[in-house]
A and B are shown apart, each in its own frame.
Chain A
Amino acid sequence: MNKIMRTTILILVLWSTLSLSYGQGVFSGGFQSNANFFLRDSVIGAANIPQYDYQLFGAEAWLDLNYTIDGYSAGVRFDLFNNSNLLDPNDSYSAQGIGRWYIRKELEKLDIQVGHIYNQIGSGIIYRAFEERPQLIDNALLGAELRYNFTNDWNITAFTGKQRNLFGTFASVIKGGKVEGFLSLGEESPVSLAPGFGVVNRTLDDESMNRVISIIKNYIPDEAIVPEYNTYLASFYNTLSYKSFTWYLEAAYKTQDAFRDPNAIKTEITGATSFGRFLRESGSVLYTSVSYAKNKLGITLEAKRTENFNFRTDPTLIRNFGQVNFLPPMNRQNTYRFTTRYSPAVQDLSELAFQADIKYRIKKNLSVLLNVSNVTTLDADLLYRELYTEIQYKYKRLWQIRTGLQIQNYNQEVYEVKPNAPIVETITPYLDFLYKINRKKSIRTELQYMLIGDDEKANAKQDYGDWLFGQVEFNIPHWSFVVSDMYNFNPGKNSPTDDNGEKLAIHYPRVDVFYTHKSNRYGLSYVKQVEGVVCTGGICRLEPAFSGFKFSVNSTF
């Protein structure tokens, strides 16, 4: 009997036993599925992966089942991937089985959990086990966690296990803990503190260590390092609240750890040099956020300094694999098509970032927003800069308008690893208009324009050049119909070309139909999508172009 069957039967038996012994509990769950029908379009680059070449179809599905009764809770999740491009947008992945299971029991002050566990310390800077399904990130810890509540305000948590790796685990052992509390000082104008302290340790397994050694042993003596099995991280964090002010501060430190710096120069034994070398350095992150919210005004100021804070379950892993921690992004999480086109991924080795977000409600139906962010390396090289404005006006319950302007500077060379790419400069005005035809029907339109700077070296517009976007969305009960088009009307340096090398002005249309019934939502879309960076939950990756149909189902019960 294989491992999946054994786990499933164990959980079902536990459920049955608990139900019989204690009576009725609460049963909940959810189902999500995506199906992609791939239509080859080599002009836009939607080609040369198995799905376009011969597989033609790919799908993913997740079924979550949770049961809670008398202090017990247990859950299991079935995951399925058939010729899926979710793990690697340039490849095909097929597998299925139990993706997650857990059992939890609350015993007065003690909370016990085993299985795949999600949790984080502070804002996640030293440890965050989480799921980000759109990029198939699932860093759950397969292990055990104990939480002891000393009082209602103070608790301590300890955990140990191995990080989930698809249907298995990475081999390194991760363990850690945190103490968190809450203090209230003063009677009239109370100051409250929510301090916390956390530690994490990763012990490399022999295989991972051998991989690191196999890399380092080829280094010239001057560049050789001696890695260690254990790396320790510690973090202190606190939220101070006073009247309308909230101040969050987190300071994190990582002991010396082997990691790959893509910008470090490596000298080969042949004398040649290249970029990319393993270093062994300690790291630190300092993050703070100050918020003020009163009446009509809301202000948030954030700053973060990051140095050598790459921390993975195995230092040789790349892309989004094996990340043990999470560094909060320091730019606005935008939603419109063009305002999200150039999104900066967090840089874990060298970053100094600031962000200010100011909202002001002028009248009940009129509000404005200003967001400014600036991200550089610790050597002051510009990575990202954004100015974002928004005005929102509501006219009775009849219509509302949201409009504004975004101005960006985006270091494409760093974020998308495109050598010699200049800093992409964009100016993007946008308009979002919602008109309520009656209580049940509404129509929403979006108009966006993206003006891109010039690439003087290439004598062309930067990247893909200038864009126009239009969208119309019609909503009636249960149904939503969306038609949009993204038009690369003034192609740039990286726009697709025809056989004669002429840049092509290409339309990227999209048509969606959504149907919602109770807690079920179905979607069918035709999508022609340009290559671009996709960020979800602060994690970004470069997604290739897509062409084809998508079908999705989302249900909760």
Chain B
Amino acid sequence: MKNIFLFSIILTLLSCEEVPIQIPEAGIIETGKTVLVEELTGVSCPNCPAGAAQLASLIELYQGSVIGVSIHGDFLCDPLSSSKYDFRSETGVELENYLKSWFGKPCAAFNRAQQDSETEFAISKFDLWGSYVDNELSKEQQVEILIDRSYDPNTRILDLAIAVSPLVNLEGDFRIGVMIAESHIIDAQLDQTDVIEEYEHNHVLRTMLTPIEGTTLSQTLVENETINKSFQFTIPEDDNLWVAENMEAIVFVNKITPESKEILQAAEVHVVE
């Protein structure tokens, strides 16, 4: 009797063969929707280079659909002894708190949407970031953002003329947010094995032209009725940082409710093309 039981169990478990899984190609979701990946990072965070590499891959894979910004707030952001710059900012700290909960760094929020099956809001399992990009890109595009930028290198004034075109009728508390980020900054970064003295920091959030949760856009969005907004920013003079050629302006439209702070759409332009 017992032999029959044993044999049955072994047979049941070991005799099955699966149909091999087909792995789909990455970055092929094209719905017009974009996703803003807000990565919480820090120069004293040993795992953050891996997170930054993952973000760079996603930007590369999902050409034009993924917009990244790297936020240096408080946690693991103390400059290293060999650091030339301090990337911390009050805005970064505010965002770090605004995007809680998260377990550790690196972590990232995807269009500021709570992802199903995750207890964290900003997700620290960076292996999974691609799946949350897919989640967001699979959602219906509801808003189109067009940015017309002009930059005067003499005055260092950046003008952003933004047109927000709803694709559907929507009601609620809609906001617009503008971030200024800078790439190609060479400075020290802690890694899992050592300090990388000449690490290239990309998409570093330098400031925001709006509150972190955005400034009021409208209470109603009517299909094809474009709302225009403009912002002006004078890029500070600095010997090493605030290099206009390396800077990006990121614009997002979000909807604030008591339960959600989800970004509907985002767009970016380089300050200097």
Contacts and interface: CB of A to CB of B under 8 A. Distances in A.
Contact of A48 (B58, B75, B193): B75
B192 interface: yes
A274 interface: yes
A119 interface: no
B139 to A, nearest CB: 16
Interface stretch (B22-30, B150-158, B227-235): B22-30
A275 B134 CA distance: 23
Contacts of B49: 274
Contacts of B119: 87-88, 91, 93
A226 B19 CA distance: 11
A399 B191 CA distance: 54
A230 B16 contact: yes
Interface stretch (A265-273, A425-433, A477-485): A265-273
A199 B5 CA distance: 13
A342 interface: no
A156 B127 contact: no
19 contacts: A50-B100, A179-B6, A209-B21, A214-B131, A215-B127, A218-B130, A229-B18, A268-B54, A268-B56, A269-B60, A270-B53, A274-B49, A274-B54, A275-B50, A316-B128, A417-B46, A418-B46, A419-B190, A420-B193
Nearest to A201: B13
Given A268-B54, A419-B193, A420-B194, A226 B20 contact: yes
Given A218-B58, A419-B190, A419-B191, A278 B127 contact: yes
B262 to A, nearest CB: 20
A274 B20 CA distance: 28
A90 B131 contact: no
Interface of B: 1-2, 5-6, 9-10, 13-14, 16, 18, 20-21, 23-26, 46-47, 49-50, 53-54, 56-58, 60-61, 74-75, 100-101, 103-104, 117, 119, 125-128, 130-131, 134, 190-194
B24 to A, nearest CB: 6
Q: Which of A90, A260, A268, A270 has the most CB of B within 10 A?
A: A268
B21 to A, nearest CB: 6
A88 B193 contact: no
Nearest to A224: B23
Interface in A50-105: 50, 87-88, 90-93
A93 to B, nearest CB: 8
B128 A156 contact: no
Given A228-B18, A230-B18, A217 B2 contact: no
Given A199-B13, A217-B24, A230-B18, A268 B53 contact: yes
